[in-house]
Amino acid sequence: MVGTDIIEVSRIEKLIKDKGDKFLNRIYTQGEIDYCESKGPNKYQHYAGRFAAKEAVFKILGTKQLKFKNIEILNNDDGSPY
């Protein structure tokens, strides 16, 4: 099965601006936060991409027992995510 997960970058940007560290630390690992913050003004696009990838993992595994922080999206040396 192939699908596309779409998330509005503005939604994630608003959550981060409104909730700050409380939101970031509930959803992202410190490694993900460091990576996204290193992207400067484009950081919200990277946060949104990781959020969508984590949602895809939930769908694949079909479980509600995981938490967002139990899933970490990293990048290979060439920048591709895994």
Q: What's the pTM?
A: 0.87
SS3 content of the chain, % helix, strand, coil (to 5): 60, 0, 35
How many alpha carbons fall within 13 Å on the CB side of residue 26?
7
pLDDT in tens, the chain (82 residues): 556 667 899 999 999 999 999 999 999 999 999 999 999 999 999 999 999 999 888 888 887 788 899 999 999 999 888 9
The residue type at 23: F
Question: Tell me, what's the pLDDT at 3?
Answer: 62
* H/E segment holding residue 13: helix 9-19
> Which parts of the chain are beta strand (E)?
none
Question: Tell me, what's the pLDDT at 74?
Answer: 92
| 75 SS3 class | strand
Question: Tell me, what's the pLDDT at 63?
Answer: 73
